[in-house]
């Protein structure tokens, strides 16, 4: 079994980003800043926030947390949109009332929408970027391969499908309407799953030599688990993300890549 270790790649990317931020600060006088708008207090969300804040501090990107009731989210976003010192804004999901998700994420100015959740986003979403970085980092070639995405969610599946199609990759999607998931997975050379449903992929559903990227995140008995059943790791003929440290570390890298790009663009626009 070959493991696709995102943590190893993340260290190289982090080093590059720290260098880019130093250059922005020294040559353009720009201090990149990310604002995170949070509306609920939840242990898992708090872990993600600490991770982002720590990563930002390591590469000298200031990360501000704005904890507000959901009713005040739009007012907060409007103020952050107008603040020239803020280069990136993310709304930490889920919201207490998910029915308002689209309206709230669409309120983020496109040039500051570093999570790329709004309808007019100009950046690529972080998790799909992270998945492509991970596969490229381990020299996984899409040419001549059948790629299957399991799940067509707004955060991962749908944007990743669009990105792969734009690169002429032979990609298909399995979702909850797929009658025979096993037949679909057995036909695929590369499987990228992001359903957030614990253990939907089992050892007998993967052909020998398959590449499996598990980008699913779900809670089960107080633990964070992926889409791949633990028994899949008993096979030794797969290339697969580890249970921890696969896509996640690179998703944080990709988010901050967008923040750095947004800061650079803001600096260039200011000089015009």
**Same domain flag for 201 and 90:** no
Has residue 235 been placed in a domain?
yes
Q: Which domain CATH number covers 46?
A: 3.40.50.10860
Q: How far apart are CA 147 and CA 245, in angstroms?
A: 22
**Domain extent for 207:** 126-248
**Same domain flag for 73 and 180:** no
CA 4, 48, 175, 102 torsion-angle sign: negative
Has residue 189 been placed in a domain?
yes
Domain boundary (79, 109, 139) is at 109
The pTM for the full model equals 0.90
- Do 34 and 88 touch, CB atoms closer than 8 A? yes
- Do 124 and 132 touch, CB atoms closer than 8 A? no
Domain boundary (82, 109, 136) is at 109
Has residue 3 been placed in a domain?
no
Has residue 9 been placed in a domain?
no
Per-residue pLDDT of the chain (272 residues; tens, 9 = 90+): 899 999 999 999 999 999 999 999 999 999 999 999 999 988 878 888 899 999 999 999 999 999 999 999 999 999 999 999 999 999 998 898 999 999 999 999 999 999 999 999 999 999 999 999 999 999 999 999 999 999 988 889 999 999 999 999 999 999 988 999 999 999 999 999 999 788 899 999 999 999 999 998 765 555 666 889 999 999 999 999 999 899 989 999 999 999 999 999 998 887 76
- Collapsing DSSP states into helix, strand and coil, what is residue 23? helix
Has residue 43 been placed in a domain?
yes
**Same domain flag for 77 and 153:** no
Has residue 170 been placed in a domain?
yes
Has residue 69 been placed in a domain?
yes
**Count of structural domains, the chain:** 2
């Amino acid at each position: 079994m070959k493991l696709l270790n995102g943590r190893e790649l993340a260290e190289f990317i982090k080093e590059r980003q720290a260098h880019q931020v130093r250059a922005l600060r020294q040559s353009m006088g720009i201090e990149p800043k990310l604002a995170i708008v949070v509306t609920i207090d939840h242990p898992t969300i708090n872990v993600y926030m600490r991770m982002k804040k720590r990563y930002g501090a390591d590469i000298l990107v200031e990360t501000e947390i704005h904890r507000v009731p959901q009713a005040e989210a739009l007012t907060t976003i409007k103020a952050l949109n107008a603040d020239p010192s803020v280069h990136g804004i993310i709304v930490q999901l889920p919201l207490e009332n998910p029915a308002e998700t689209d309206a709230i994420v669409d309120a983020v100015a496109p040039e500051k929408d570093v999570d790329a959740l709004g309808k007019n986003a100009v950046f690529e979403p972080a998790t799909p970027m992270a998945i492509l970085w991970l596969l490229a980092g381990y020299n996984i070639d899409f040419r001549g391969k059948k790629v299957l995405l399991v799940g067509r969610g707004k955060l991962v599946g749908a944007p990743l499908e669009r990105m792969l199609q734009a690169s002429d990759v032979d990609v298909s999607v399995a979702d909850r309407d797929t009658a025979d998931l096993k037949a679909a997975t057995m036909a695929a050379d590369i499987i990228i799953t992001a359903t957030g449903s614990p253990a939907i992929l089992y050892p007998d559903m993967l052909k020998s030599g398959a590449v499996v990227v598990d980008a699913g995140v779900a809670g089960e008995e107080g633990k964070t688990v992926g889409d791949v059943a633990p028994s899949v790791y008993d096979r030794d003929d797969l290339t697969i993300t580890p249970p921890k440290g696969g896509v996640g570390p690179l998703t944080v890298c990709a988010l901050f890549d967008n923040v750095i790009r947004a800061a650079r663009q803001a600096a260039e626009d200011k000089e015009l």
